[in-house]
Structure formats: C-alpha cells, structure tokens
Homo-oligomer: A and B are copies of this chain.
Amino acid sequence: MSNLATLDVSQHPNLPQSSQTLFAAKAQKQLSFEDISKQIGRNEVATAAIFYGQAKASPEDIVNLSKALGVPQEQLEQQLSGFPDRGRSVEMPPREPLIYRLYEIVQNYGYAYKAVLNEKFGDGIMSAISFSTKVEKETDADGNNWAVITLRGKW
C-alpha cells in the first residue's frame, strides 16, 4: 500500500474550506498526488499547492479535479473560485523539520544565491510568482535516495 499525504484539519485551522474538501476526497479515493497530477495535467507540487490553497485552480483544473476526486463540480467552483490567500499554510519559522530544512537552506545560502544570481543576471530578482517548481527522486549507485527540488523563476 502506497504512502498517502493526508490533512488533519485540527492542525491547520488557517487553511481554506477547499483544503478540507480536497483532502477528504483524496483520502477516500486513496489517491496520491502523483495520481491526481496525472489526471489534471499539472505537476505534483502545483497539484499539492492547490490542495493547500496556495495556487489558483483554473476552470479546467476544477473540472478535472471534480472528475478525479468525485467531488461535485459546483462545490469545487464555489470553494475554489476566489483568489488564493497565499502564505497561510506554514507558520514561520517552520516547526516541521522537513520544511525547516528548506528554510535553513535559505538562511544559510541566501547571500550566496544572491551573489551568484547578481553576477549572472545583474541587478534584479527571481520571481516567486512567474515560477515553477518540481520534485524528483534519484537513487544513486549505493542505493541512497536523493530528493531533488528545482526552482525556476523568471528574472
């Protein structure tokens, strides 16, 4: 049986109602984000971001999510029609160890990234909005697993 990410609403009171709807259906259907992402044609992280209220679902996403999850389309339209109120899912600094590791990377490498980016691109900024990201799994010759996260933002 595969691993499935779930949502315990009592631990996330700041998430929108849509999060509860989507995660409940995901748990009942026993679908992974990989399964869902294939059905709605978006990558896994973007799919999960919709579930956590961090990305806007397009009208097609809503149709596809309705099919994939068996949730009435009108319900999703109502709950997902607004604009995401981003930034409410993680309290900073993050207390979750896995998320803290990403925070720590920013804390430790922040100026190194800035220096290299400035030298490569000049003054400016990497957008966190015109932006895509993905997660991949690599296994090396010794059988160790490596998580590879790619961030791609417009300069």
Contacts and interface: CB of A to CB of B under 8 A. Distances in A.
Contacts of A87: 94-97, 100, 104, 107-108
A95 B76 CA distance: 25
A112 B32 contact: no
Contacts of A49: 108-109, 112
Nearest to A124: B129
A56 to B, nearest CB: 4
A151 interface: yes
Q: Which of A27, A48, A52, A102 neighbours the largest number of chain B CB atoms within 10 Å of its CB?
A: A102
A52 B155 contact: no
Interface of A: 2-8, 10-11, 13-18, 27, 32-34, 44-46, 48-49, 51-52, 54, 56, 79, 81-90, 92-129, 131, 133, 135, 137-138, 144-155
